[in-house]
C-alpha cells in the first residue's frame, strides 16, 4: 500500500513559501577550487542544500557509426518506483472534462507519415525489457528514438541510419557502471539552441549510482560524441531521470529511493554544465535534494524559435491536490553561491482524481485490454514527460499533461488532463486546461504534449478498453480554437494484441511528443503497441503531423555558450 505525503514537511524545513515565488531562496555553498577532471565521489546532498560536484568520468566516441554495438542479453522487468499520492487527490469529480458531445468536433489532421520504431519487427532487435520507456526527439534532418536501453537513428523519411544499438555503446570508452551496465530509463533530447543531441540513461545495477550522459559533437547523431558519468553515491537510487535543455545547462530530475528501492526519499534536481559539455571539457553538476514531500517533478525543456530570456531560470513542475506546484531553479556556473531554488508556487486547477484511484492496490493499475485479464499501469502518480517551454516574444508558456480519472464514479475510465501555463517567471497563471475523453468507452493514458510556433498543440497518448487492444492515438488544437478544448481523435496505429504474462502490468513508462525545429510546425510522436498478444513482444511506432495553418519558421536563434563562442543567431 502506498502511503501519502506528510503535508508541507519539506517546505517548513526550508522556510519556503507554498503560495508564491517571492519567499525564501536556497543558496549554494562554495566548495574547494580545483575540479578533478576524471574520477571523483559525489556525496548525497542534504535536503535543500545546493551541492556543486565534478563529473565522475568523461570520454569520447570519435564516430558512433564506426563503433560496434555492445550486445545486451537476458530479459527483465524494470524497477518501478511508485510515488506517494497527494492527500485529497482521489474521489474528486473532474472539473474540466471536455464534453464528448461537442458538435461539430473539429478535425485533427491525419499523419503525414508513420514508420516502425525500435521493437518487435525491427531487424537486429530482441525485446529484452518491460516497459519500453519509448521516447524520441527530432532534429533538423534526423529523428532519434530511445527505447529503455537501446536507440536508433532515422532520417525523416523513416530510413534507419544507425542501430538498433545498446545505449551503453555510447559509454564504451568509460569505465565503471556506465560502461558495463545497460540499465535504461533512457531519454533523448535535441538541444535546439546548439543543434546537438543529448542521450542519457542511468546506471543503477551497481554502485555508485550514476547518470550517463552523451552530447553529440554535431547535429549528426551517427558521428562523434562527448560522454560523461555523474555519480550520486552508494545510498540513493536515482530513479526515473527526466531531462530538459536550457541555455545555461542540461537540467535533470530524479525520484530518489533508498538502495533497496523500498522507500521513497523525494525528488532531486540537477543541472549539468552545458557549455563545457558541448566542447567535451571537464564538467560539473549542481544538485538539490528537494525532500520527500515532492515527487515526480519535471524540468522544463525549451522549444520553439526564441530561447528563454537571458538569465531565465529553469522551471520545474509537479501535480498536487487539485493544483500544480512550480519552482524556479537558477544556476550560476561562475559563482555557485548565487545558485538558487525558489518555490514552489501552488497554482489551483480544476478538480481531478488521479487515474485508477479506486483499484484495490492503489498503485494506478486499472487499464483494461481486449482478451486479457492483465490490467495496465496508468502511471498516474506523476506528470508525464515533457514540461515543454515556449517563448513567443509577447508571452512565455509551459505545457504539460497527466492521466486522470474521468467522471464522478469509481467505474469511470481514464482520460488525459492537459494544461497551458503562462508567465512562469512573473506571476504564473493557468491559461487553459481540460480533460480529454471524447467517448465513454476507451481509456486514455501515458500522454505527451507539445506546442508549435503558432501556438497550436498536439497531444499523444495510448488508448485501450476491454473490447479494444492498446493502440496509439493523438489529438490537437489550433491557437484559435475555443479555449480549453481539443479537436477530434486520430488513431496513429491500431494495436493487434494485448500484453499478457503474470504481473506484466507495465506500459510506457512514458512517450514522446516533440516539435520539429526545422519548420517549427511538424509534431513527431512515438510510443508502444503490440502486433500480437504476448509478453516481451512490444513494438513502437513513430509518426508526424502538421496543422496546415502553421507558418513554417525561416530563422532560429542559438542561445547559450556554444563551444565557447558565446551567443549568436543565424539562419536555418
Residue 9: φ, ψ to 5°: -60, -45
Q: Compute the distance between CA of residue 268 and CA of residue 252 in angstroms, rounded to an integer.
A: 8
Q: Compute the distance between CA of residue 161 and CA of residue 514 in angstroms, rounded to an integer.
A: 20
Q: Compute the distance between CA of residue 520 and CA of residue 390 in angstroms, rounded to an integer.
A: 11
Closest CA to 479 of 494, 500, 449, 458: 458
Which pLDDT band holds residue 361 (cuts at 50, 70, 90)? Answer: low
Question: Using an 8 Å Cβ cutoff, are 153 and 141 in contact?
Answer: no
Quote the pLDDT of residue 10: 29
Q: Which residue has the higher pLDDT, 31 or 309?
A: 309
Quote the pLDDT of residue 410: 59
Q: What is the mean pLDDT of residues 384-397?
A: 98
For 249-276, b/e burial (b = at least 16 CB within 10 A) is bbbbbbbbbeeeeeebbbbbbbbbbbbb
For 471-499, b/e burial (b = at least 16 CB within 10 A) is bbbbbbbbeeeeebbbbebbebbebebbb
Quote the pLDDT of residue 74: 67
Q: Compute the distance between CA of residue 555 and CA of residue 510 in angstroms, rounded to an integer.
A: 31
**First-last CA distance in the chain:** 52
DSSP state letter for 71: P
Q: Compute the distance between CA of residue 488 and CA of residue 510 in angstroms, rounded to an integer.
A: 23
163, pLDDT greater than 70: yes
Quote the pLDDT of residue 512: 98
284, pLDDT greater than 80: yes
Q: Which residue has the higher pLDDT, 263 or 412?
A: 263
Q: Write out the three cell numbers for 90.
A: 482521489
Q: Compute the distance between CA of residue 116 and CA of residue 499 in angstroms, rounded to an integer.
A: 19
Quote the pLDDT of residue 49: 79
Question: Using an 8 Å Cβ cutoff, are 376 and 464 in contact?
Answer: yes
Q: Within a 10 A sphere around the Cβ of 311, how many other Cβ atoms?
A: 10
Which pLDDT band holds residue 101 (cuts at 50, 70, 90)? Answer: low
In terms of residues, how long is the chain? 572
Q: Compute the distance between CA of residue 99 and CA of residue 105 in angstroms, rounded to an integer.
A: 10
Q: What is the mean pLDDT of residues 318-339?
A: 96
Q: Compute the distance between CA of residue 381 and CA of residue 321 in angstroms, rounded to an integer.
A: 11
Which pLDDT band holds residue 70 (cuts at 50, 70, 90)? Answer: confident
Residues paired with residue 571 on neighbouring β-strands, in sequence order? 555
pLDDT digits (tens, 9 = 90+) for 395-447: 999 999 999 999 766 567 999 999 999 999 999 999 999 999 999 999 999 99
Quote the pLDDT of residue 102: 61
165, pLDDT greater than 70: yes
Q: Compute the distance between CA of residue 473 and CA of residue 248 in angstroms, rounded to an integer.
A: 35
113, pLDDT greater than 70: yes
pLDDT digits (tens, 9 = 90+) for 236-249: 999 999 999 999 99
458, pLDDT greater than 70: yes
Q: Write out the three cell numbers for 572.
A: 536555418
168, pLDDT greater than 50: yes
Quote the pLDDT of residue 7: 28
274, pLDDT greater than 60: yes
Mean pLDDT over all residues of the chain? 87
Q: Within a 10 A sphere around the Cβ of 97, how many other Cβ atoms?
A: 20
Quote the pLDDT of residue 362: 60
Supply angle C-alpha 386, 513, 117, rounded to 5.
125
Quote the pLDDT of residue 559: 47
Which pLDDT band holds residue 6 (cuts at 50, 70, 90)? Answer: very low
Closest CA to 537 of 493, 498, 511: 498
Question: Using an 8 Å Cβ cutoff, are 477 and 483 in contact?
Answer: no
Amino acid at each position: 500500500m502506498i502511503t501519502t505525503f506528510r503535508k508541507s514537511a519539506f517546505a517548513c524545513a526550508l522556510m519556503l513559501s507554498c503560495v508564491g515565488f517571492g519567499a525564501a531562496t536556497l543558496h549554494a555553498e562554495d566548495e574547494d577550487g580545483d575540479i578533478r577532471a576524471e574520477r571523483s565521489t559525489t556525496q548525497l546532498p542534504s535536503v535543500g542544500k545546493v551541492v556543486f560536484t565534478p563529473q565522475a568520468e568523461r570520454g569520447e566516441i570519435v564516430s558512433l557509426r564506426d563503433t560496434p554495438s555492445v550486445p545486451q542479453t537476458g530479459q527483465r522487468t524494470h524497477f518501478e518506483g511508485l510515488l506517494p499520492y497527494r492527500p485529497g487527490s482521489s474521489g474528486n469529480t473532474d472539473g474540466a472534462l471536455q464534453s464528448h458531445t461537442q458538435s461539430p468536433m473539429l478535425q485533427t489532421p491525419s499523419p503525414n507519415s508513420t514508420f516502425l520504431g525500435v521493437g518487435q519487427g525491427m531487424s537486429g532487435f530482441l525485446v529484452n525489457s518491460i516497459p519500453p520507456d519509448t521516447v524520441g526527439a527530432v532534429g533538423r534532418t534526423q529523428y532519434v528514438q530511445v527505447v529503455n536501453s537501446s536507440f536508433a537513428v532515422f532520417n525523416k523519411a523513416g530510413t534507419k541510419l544507425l542501430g538498433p544499438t545498446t545505449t551503453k555503446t555510447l559509454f564504451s570508452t568509460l569505465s565503471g557502471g556506465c560502461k558495463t551496465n545497460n540499465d535504461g530509463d533512457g531519454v533523448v533530447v535535441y538541444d535546439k539552441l546548439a543543434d546537438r543531441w543529448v542521450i542519457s540513461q542511468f546506471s543503477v545495477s551497481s554502485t555508485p549510482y550514476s547518470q550517463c550522459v552523451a552530447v553529440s559533437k554535431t547535429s549528426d547523431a551517427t558521428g562523434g560524441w562527448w560522454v560523461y558519468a555523474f555519480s550520486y553515491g552508494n545510498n540513493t537510487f536515482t530513479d526515473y531521470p527526466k531531462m530538459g535543455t536550457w541555455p545555461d545547462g542540461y537540467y535533470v530530475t530524479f525520484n530518489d529511493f533508498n538502495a533497496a528501492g523500498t522507500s521513497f526519499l523525494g525528488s532531486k534536481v540537477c543541472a549539468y554544465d552545458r557549455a563545457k559539455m558541448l566542447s567535451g571539457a571537464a564538467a560539473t553538476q549542481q544538485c538539490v535534494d528537494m525532500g520527500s514531500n515532492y515527487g515526480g517533478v519535471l524540468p522544463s525543456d525549451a522549444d520553439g524559435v526564441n530561447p528563454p530570456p537571458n538569465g531565465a531560470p529553469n522551471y520545474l513542475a509537479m501535480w498536487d491536490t487539485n493544483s500544480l506546484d512550480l519552482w524556479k531553479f537558477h544556476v550560476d556556473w561562475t559563482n555557485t553561491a548565487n545558485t538558487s531554488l525558489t518555490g514552489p508556487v501552488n497554482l489551483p486547477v480544476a478538480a481531478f482524481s488521479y487515474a485508477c484511484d479506486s483499484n484495490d492496490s492503489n498503485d494506478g493499475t486499472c487499464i483494461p485490454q481486449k482478451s486479457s485479464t492483465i490490467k495496465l499501469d496508468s502511471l498516474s502518480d506523476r506528470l508525464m514527460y515533457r514540461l515543454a517551454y515556449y517563448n513567443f516574444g509577447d508571452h512565455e508558456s509551459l505545457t504539460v499533461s497527466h492521466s486522470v480519472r474521468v467522471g464522478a464514479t469509481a467505474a469511470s475510465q481514464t482520460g488525459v488532463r492537459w494544461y497551458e501555463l503562462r508567465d512562469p517567471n512573473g506571476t504564473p497563471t493557468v491559461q487553459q486546461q481540460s480533460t480529454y475523453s471524447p467517448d465513454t468507452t476507451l481509456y486514455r493514458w501515458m500522454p505527451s504534449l507539445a506546442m508549435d510556433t503558432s501556438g497550436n498543440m498536439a497531444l499523444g497518448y495510448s488508448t485501450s478498453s476491454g473490447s479494444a487492444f492498446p493502440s496509439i492515438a493523438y489529438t490537437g488544437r489550433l491557437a484559435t480554437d475555443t479555449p480549453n478544448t481539443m479537436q477530434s481523435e486520430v488513431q496513429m496505429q491500431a494495436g493487434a494484441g494485448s500484453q499478457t504474462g503474470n504481473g506484466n502490468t507495465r506500459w510506457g513508462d512514458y512517450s514522446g511528443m516533440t516539435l520539429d525545429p526545422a519548420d517549427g510546425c511538424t509534431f513527431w510522436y512515438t510510443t508502444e503497441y503490440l502486433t500480437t498478444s504476448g509478453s516481451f513482444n512490444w513494438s513502437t511506432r513513430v509518426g508526424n503531423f502538421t496543422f496546415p495553418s502553421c507558418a513554417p519558421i525561416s530563422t532560429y536563434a542559438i542561445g547559450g555558450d556554444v563551444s565557447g563562442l558565446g551567443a549568436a543567431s543565424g539562419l536555418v
